[in-house]
Amino acid sequence: MEESLARIKHKHSRIIDERRHVWDVEKLWELTAHLPVQKIDIDSIKELDQDCWFGYGSTTVPTIRNVANHCKRIIQADMEYPILLTSDGLLVDGGHRIAKALINGQQQIDAVFIEALPPADVII
């Protein structure tokens, strides 16, 4: 199982029925490449005030190093790519882009909505 996780370069995970479901984000982007990009209000993003990086089930804690690593990813975030949300508005990909948009004073961000997530690539 760890081998499967290690092969996934860019992951999205969430807890479903007390088990962590993990998706390969690059596969999700391939599945959604044909979908339209929409502008949405950043304040409408449900995870905006939630701990998405260090919260429940995370193996990392907010040490100075781990926070700095996220800051680096925020600084390097490519705003040319939209964020990815489920049809009910849950964030799948783009937390660092959202943070960068907030820092830059943006009110809106480009988003793509996926109708339904496919089965997870790995379930832990």
- Torsion from C-alpha of 113, 118, 122, 124, nearest 10 degrees: 80
Q: How many structural domains comprise the chain?
A: 1
Looking at the predicted structure, is the pLDDT value of residue 9 above 90?
Answer: no
Q: What is the pTM of this model?
A: 0.86
Please give the mean pLDDT across all residues of the chain.
91
Q: Residue 1: pLDDT band by 50, 70, 90 thresholds? A: low
DSSP 106: -
Angstrom distance (rounded) from CA 57 to CA 20:
8
Instruction: Determine the Cα angle at 62 with ends 60 and 72, to 5°.
Output: 95
**Domain range for residue 52?**
1-123
**pLDDT at 10 (0 to 100):** 86
pLDDT, mean of residues 98-104: 98
Distance CA 56, CA 100 (A): 23
CATH of the domain at 14: 3.90.1530
Q: Where are the beta strands (DSSP E) in 27-117?
A: 38-41, 83-86, 91-93, 108-114
Mean pLDDT of 11-31: 91
Is residue 2's pLDDT more than 70? Answer: no
Structural contact between residues 117 and 75, judged by C-beta atoms closer than 8 angstroms: no
Residue 6: pLDDT band by 50, 70, 90 thresholds? confident
pLDDT, tens digit (0-9, with 9 covering 90-100), for 48-98: 999 888 876 566 788 999 999 999 999 999 999 999 999 999 999 999 999
Given a contact cutoff of 8 angstroms between Cβ atoms, the answer to whether 107 and 41 are in contact is yes
